[in-house]
Chains A and B, each alone.
Chain A
Amino acid sequence: MSVVLVMVEHDRGALVPGALEALTFGRHLACDLGLSLHGVTIGSSADALAKQLGHYGAEVIHQAHHEILCDYGPQAWGETVAQLARSIEAAVIITTGTDSGNEVIANAAARMDLPMVANCTKLLPRQGLWELVRLRWGGSLLERASLDAPVKILTLAPNRFEATLEPGAGKTESFVPTLDPCLAQTVVRRRVVESKGISLASAPVVVSGGRGVKSAAGFAPLEELADLLGGAVGCSRVATNNGWRPHSDQVGQTGTRIAPQIYIACGISGAIQHWVGAMGAKHILAINTDPEANMVHKADYAIIGDLHEIIPAIVDAVRTAQN
């Protein structure tokens, strides 16, 4: 039991946001506990990542190879992590607290019949029993909990940790798990790319509308502004429930979590469910008639007034500036 194992999450060979942060976190933990840091990448599409991972302190990079691991498959990936963890006698298994990170690690934990903790923000390793803090309600509430398990399995809350460089051996080792062919059922069969332009989750600018927009048509100027800035349009739950926008545009606890350079929140009061999705933004500009709206309080910048007058004026100003 001498290894902290980090499953380095990737999407067909590209690291997902938070992957290096998880590796960094694993390194600090390994250091504190006097353990060594191993990473694992699943599928040969990720083999090329090994060098980069070495820069973040991994001593060993396990590269899992199997024909079933040709694309993402939560059960096959989970089984792979479980088998590797057993074989290297991992004491801790960590990954990113994304939907798929949580999914894979939950599968691994279920297969190992061990507890799993999603979205940790803090760990206090102790002898045997660990104390930790994790997100509830998407982060609007925190839980202090204790974890009693021979192997500690957890994911890290997004946007809470930093990645720092620290050279490690970065030795690669191939790992070939034994996988039941029926696990192939839950491997991605096909991918459908929606050419909607910039995706909400990765857009550098998100222009979002809420109750104050008042109608589906009211989103037109928001779309115009988002287009000009190479951004995406988002919305609050009110807009989805009223049928003004599709659910895929919803920013929030049950929608998309965003992390743009700037979030322009128009006519959004800032209910907690929405804030949870928006709080990853680096900067926030709130446009609201109510100077006391929650969103205004939480924003870096605010304009008080009617968004239906303000947004077109911003569109004009941006256009003039761009020309």
Chain B
Amino acid sequence: MNEVPSRANVVVIGAGIVGNCLVGHLARLGWRDMVLIDKGPLPNPGGSTGHASNFIFPTDHNKEMAVLTLESQRQYEEMGVNTTCGGIEVARTEARMEELRRRMTSAKAWGIEAKLLSPREVKEEVPFINEDIILGGFYTPSVSVVDSLRAGTIMREQAQEKEVLEVFANTEVLDLEVEPSPFKRPRIKAVVTDRGRIEADVVVIACGVWSPRIATMAGATIPLTPAVHQMADVGPIEILQKTGNEIAYPIVRDMDTFMYERQSAGSMEVGSYAHRPIFHRPDEIPSNAESALSPTELPLTQQDFDPQLEDALDLMGDILETAEIRYAINGLLSLTPDAMPVLGETVEIANLWSAAAVWIKEGPAIAQMVAEWMTYGYPHVCDPHGSDIARLYPHERTEHHIRARCGEHFNKTYGIVHPREQWATERGMNRSPFYPRQEALKAEFYDARGWERPQWYGVNKDLVVCYELETRPHEWDNRWWSSIISAEHLHMRDKVGMVDLSAFQIFDVQGPGVVDYIEKMTVNKCDRPVGSSIYTPVLTEGGGFRSDLTVLRLGDFHYRIVTGAFDGGRDEYWFRKNLPEDGSVQFSNMTSAICTLGVWGPNAQAMVSKLTDVDLSQQHFRYGKVKDVLIAGIPTTMFRVSYVGESGWEIYTSMQHGLQRWDALWEAGQQFDVRPVGMGVYGTTGRMEKGYLLMGAELESEYTPVEAGLARKGVKKADFIGKEAYLKARDEQPVAKICALTMDDHTDGTGVKRFPCGGNEPILTLDGDRIVDGKGRVSRVTSAGIGPSLGKFILFSYLPPKYAVAGTKLKVMYMNALFSVTVAGSTTLFDPENQRMKS
């Protein structure tokens, strides 16, 4: 056996689609001295790539996945391993037809040619289908089948030809060595294999279903589970044999039965996501030698597949009935708790990267994304926040959680998933101290990465009548929504509301080096007097948004960072990673020590004043300031600010005082008609009326503060991450600007009023054409919601300058129908002078 080199720049573990494409992309980006190892033989080491169905349906509602899939398809095509065959998603139910209309909308957004077919038109494309049981189909001519093993070989060999890569198959990783660091995370040091030890600067785990097992060797976590996807190859089938092709007929996805039928030369591959979720453990998967087929091609559990055979016969009985089942497996693939990949540097170990839970359809582009991330500090191909491994909190990294959530979403692989859909499992993990009161007030709880947050309160139902609010006529638009949200909004603007903000992620940074440190991390100047607050973008090196958050200066050497529940993991990772090596700044996560309550509305000042001697008037407690205040005997930190455009405070207290503070404020508020107000107002209606932008929606690494309208007049002297790019962006004419648009008419062609959900609906010209800016970014709805005080429905979208003019008439596509919209110009439609907040 050949010995491995004793040193390498990068060791990539795993030679599936991801590992192979990764070394190819890294080679292109100039990396040298790379080693690729795999436990199995080449070209098929026995992982999930080896048995993948290899087809690509490009349309995805999720932008990140759509971009990565389209880019991957382009790369497969470039490699000459992409065979276009077309694909049809068929509907057996009316609900599915509605979903297909939604898919038409997403296809339009990403520029994918697609059309809806009648059952007869489906039959013309797929003559052996039983058109009697379907209502229609969503046809995508560009659906393709790829040769993923060949693609992997090509990418690997490209790196070898550049003489920057050594490849070792049949090489098992025995251990990962790490090196401790006094003030920071441990860092990866070496990979120990059965052919020797390799010291490496960077190690990437691209081991698919084995990734968690390898990560554990270093003390890191890669949260995924191996799960079964059943498939069978049935044949021979004459009509398919006659084509003489690997694939000649479109692939059919029988969406309502969670199955697909894909021609594979003379036979049909029938796959299913309909069976019960079947999970395995990464450290129990058999070795290559112990497997009858391969480690990830386990024996079919026939009883799980039998019902699917019947469904397949219903749809294609003519050809399938007499076809022989020649190969059938429980194929293993990787599932994560939220069904997105797990990419990026691991949070536990520096320079140890994860590139896992990736499907064939997105493999090459994800490899490119990770390669760029490693090279430039953040990807260029698209914003990775949905795939960033750091997004997952500790409780989301446990087998318990992974199995519960994957068990819930496995059967939704082909499901109809609402953009606002809530999880049923693993609820109640994180509750604020106010939870019992909220339950009593009939809170409708939504999950925010473990936190239970009231979206609205059932007790406020009376306000709906009071404000004469209507419900939405279409069930889909009404789903996971309530007109109580609008009622709470209006009441808050009229009186006062209490909002639970305990899911805020709070990090304290302290120490002699803290000013330099915080300035390095943020765009806006943070070296301001104690008691100041700074809202600031956090940028990537490329000048795009990595985050946006609020920094409070609590002391000369003490800052508090406040960020959202959906971003806490990624932000904590980033702030910890950039801590100075010398230990001059200490980082502590205070989230579970502090609970937060927002009190806002015209009566807020009067209400809180009842409980304190401190003068809360604007003259003495100005907007944006932070003060320690005793409220009903409870020490609190009050921060005068608002995300909903009203006068009031975020009030921080130690967790143990939380319930007492709620009760005190609640009691004091009774005479002012205080109401509990949910996140529906805070996150959507209030925010959107004020034009406040949201990380992960409007704010992404693909856009700059200039484009988002968040560039301030001056630029601070101190250096900060992304400054160079930021200065450049300020000098350039932006090719897109964030805009608010309002819907002119909600009525669709069938006379039903529709209300977009804010799921990437494309903004179109009056001719119905896509709008693409000078950097190739499409104009699409990033947030959507009612502005109850405006009486208008608001959409946010980036638009090229020529459209970003108030009064411009455009269209939005929703559920495959076009609606007229008008550009409102500035995003702040309600109280643009901010008089209410500062009064």
Contact = CB atoms under 8 A, between A and B. Distances in A.
Direct A–B contact present (CB less than 8 angstroms): yes
Interface string B315-341: 000000000000000000000000000
B16 to A, nearest CB: 17
> Of A290, A292, A293, A294, which is in contact with the most chain B CB atoms at under 10 Å from its CB?
A292
A294 B289 CA distance: 9
Contacts of A290: 41-42, 169-170
Contacts of A293: 41
Interface residues of A, number: 4
Nearest to B171: A292
Contacts of B170: 290, 292
Interface string B31-43: 0000000000110
A100 B169 CA distance: 44
Contacts of B1: 292
Chain B, interface size category, equals under 10
Contacts of B42: 290
A4 to B, nearest CB: 40
A214 to B, nearest CB: 15
A290 B289 CA distance: 15
Contacts of B169: 290, 292
A164 to B, nearest CB: 37
Interface string A282-307: 00000000101110000000000000
A241 to B, nearest CB: 10
Nearest to A290: B41
A320 to B, nearest CB: 33
Interface in A253-307: 290, 292-294
B167 to A, nearest CB: 12
A194 to B, nearest CB: 31
Nearest to B289: A294
Interface string A108-141: 0000000000000000000000000000000000
Contacts of A294: 289
A290 B167 CA distance: 13
Nearest to B292: A271
Interface string B134-171: 00000000000000000000000000000000000110
Nearest to B169: A292
Nearest to B41: A290
B679 to A, nearest CB: 56
Interface string B18-55: 00000000000000000000000110000000000000
A292 B41 CA distance: 7
Interface in A93-114: none
A293 B289 CA distance: 11
A292 B169 CA distance: 8
Nearest to B288: A294
Contacts of B289: 294
Contacts of A292: 1, 41, 169-170
B113 to A, nearest CB: 38
A290 B42 CA distance: 8
Point out which of B1, B41, B169, B289 has the most chain A C-beta atoms below 10 A from its C-beta. Answer: B41
Nearest to B42: A290
A174 B42 CA distance: 64
A292 B1 CA distance: 8
A314 B41 CA distance: 26
B543 to A, nearest CB: 48
A9 B170 CA distance: 45
B684 to A, nearest CB: 57
B809 to A, nearest CB: 64
A294 B170 CA distance: 11
Interface string B170-196: 100000000000000000000000000
A299 B407 CA distance: 47
Interface in B276-321: 289
B153 to A, nearest CB: 13
A272 to B, nearest CB: 9
10 contacts: A290-B41, A290-B42, A290-B169, A290-B170, A292-B1, A292-B41, A292-B169, A292-B170, A293-B41, A294-B289
Given A290-B169, A292-B170, A293-B41, 4 more contacts: A290-B41, A292-B1, A292-B169, A294-B289
Interface of B: 1, 41-42, 169-170, 289
The 10 closest A-B pairs by CB, nearest first: A292-B170, A290-B41, A292-B41, A292-B169, A293-B41, A294-B289, A290-B42, A290-B169, A292-B1, A290-B170
